[in-house]
C-alpha cells in the first residue's frame, strides 16, 4: 500500500534530517520512491521536503494520469483516506495538551457562520467525528465529483 510506503518515506527522511549532516534529498527520495514506482503501485507521486534549514525540495515521479503530464509541486492529488491518520494524530496531541476534549461539540471549534448538523438535539462531538460515528454523509452534498475508476490528480487553478 502506497500510504504505508509514504509513511516509511517520511520516517526515513525525518531520521536523515535528525543527524545534522548534509543530505542529498533528491537521491534519498529517489532511493525510496523509485522501487515503488517500478512496481506500478502509483501513477504519479510528488514528494516535498522542508529541510531543517528551510529549503523546499520537490521531486516528482510518473504521470498525473496514464499518458498525462508529469506531476509537479502544484499538482493536487485526491488523497482519499491518507489524511485520516494525520488528522487523528493531531487531535490526539491537542487532547493531550488539553486544548480540546473528545467530548467537545465540533461546533465549538468552528466559526459561527458554519453550522454543524445535529442528530436531533444532540451535537456532534470531536470523538464522533474522528471515529466516523457522527452520522454525517461520506461526501459533502456540494462536492462535485466525477465517477472515477482510480484516484486521479489535477492541477490547482
Q: Kindly list the catalytic residues.
A: 81
Contacts of 133 (CB under 8 A, 6+ apart): 127
At which residue does the C-alpha cell 471515529 appear? 131
Q: Work out whether strand 56-62 and strand 75-77 pair parallel, antiparallel, or are unpaired.
A: unpaired
Task: Single out the residue of 2, 147, 156 nearest to residue 64, CA to CA.
Answer: 156
Write the burial class of residue 51 (CB in 10 Å: 0-12 exposed, 13-18 middle, 19+ buried): middle
| Residues 51, 23 contacting (CB under 8 angstroms) | yes
C-alpha cell at 95: 487532547
Amino acid at each position: 500500500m502506497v500510504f504505508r510506503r509514504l509513511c516509511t518515506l517520511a520516517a526515513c527522511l525525518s531520521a536523515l534530517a535528525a543527524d545534522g549532516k548534509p543530505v542529498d534529498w533528491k537521491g534519498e527520495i529517489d532511493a525510496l520512491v523509485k522501487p515503488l514506482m517500478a512496481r506500478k503501485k502509483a501513477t504519479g507521486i510528488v514528494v516535498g521536503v522542508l529541510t531543517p534549514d528551510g529549503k523546499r525540495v520537490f521531486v516528482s515521479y510518473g504521470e498525473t494520469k496514464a499518458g498525462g503530464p508529469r506531476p509537479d509541486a502544484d499538482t493536487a492529488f485526491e488523497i482519499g483516506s491518507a489524511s485520516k491518520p494525520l488528522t487523528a494524530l493531531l487531535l490526539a496531541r491537542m487532547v493531550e495538551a488539553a486544548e480540546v476534549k473528545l467530548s467537545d461539540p465540533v461546533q465549538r471549534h468552528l466559526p459561527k457562520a458554519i453550522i454543524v448538523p445535529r442528530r436531533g438535539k444532540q451535537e456532534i462531538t470531536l470523538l464522533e467525528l474522528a471515529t466516523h460515528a457522527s452520522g454525517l454523509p461520506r461526501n459533502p452534498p456540494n462536492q462535485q465529483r466525477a465517477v472515477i475508476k482510480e484516484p486521479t490528480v489535477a492541477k490547482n487553478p
